[in-house]
Amino acid sequence: MAQKQEWSASGVDCCSPFTSCLLSWCVPCIQYGRVHHRLHKDSQLKGWSVFNGDCCAYFALSFFGCQWIVQLMGRGEIREKYNLKGNGCTDCLCACCCMPCDLVQQEKEIVNQEATNLINVQPNKLEAQNQMAYPQQQQPQQYQQQQMPQYPPQHPPQHQ
């Protein structure tokens, strides 16, 4: 089993990027929807919409003060997927004590991990492409230069 690694971003470093910080503090349901989309669908947010099921679930749970439950579960999924240090207790503390900071940390972690995976995967893709069999290229056709037909020289009429 591979050694568990530290989270790449600190939970207290929640002021950057500013967009994530602002969303996490002002409309955490939208930020949660972004994090969940990055984790389960596309890390580049392709196909993401502000109004999605995850955002609505977080919003509905917030009326009962229970939004930390889905945030806790998401944090655990991130920890498992990227083999990060931590356990259920630390997940619970982060999700309950500072929800906005935790949301920013979760998004940063996914972005950083996916960027690292992309860098590590790219050389392997290039090697695979170089090993592919390519169809033989057709040789360029040689065109013979044709000589222009020779016409008898015409002399202009002479005036007398």
| Position with higher pLDDT, 50 vs 89 | 89
Q: 145 in a domain, yes or no? A: no
Q: 133 in a domain, yes or no? A: no
> Is the pLDDT score of 49 beyond 70?
yes
Q: 129 in a domain, yes or no? A: no
Q: 32 in a domain, yes or no? A: yes
Kindly report, residue by residue over 72-113, the tens digit of the pLDDT.
Answer: 999 999 999 999 999 999 999 999 998 999 999 999 999 999
Task: Determine the structural domain holding residue 108 and report its residue range.
Answer: 18-119
Q: What is the DSSP string of 76-105?
A: HHHHHHTTBS--HHHHHHHHHH-HHHHHHH
For residues 16 and 22, what is the distance between their CA atoms, to the nearest angstrom? 9
Write phi, then psi, for 71 (nearest 5 degrees). Answer: -65, -40
pLDDT computed for residue 151 by the predictor:
65
Q: Residue 38 corresponds to which amino acid?
A: R
pLDDT computed for residue 139 by the predictor:
59
Q: How many helices (H) and strands (E) does the chain have?
A: 6, 0
pLDDT computed for residue 122 by the predictor:
57
pTM for the whole structure:
0.70
- Mean pLDDT calculated for residue range 43-55: 87
| Number of compact structural domains in the chain | 1
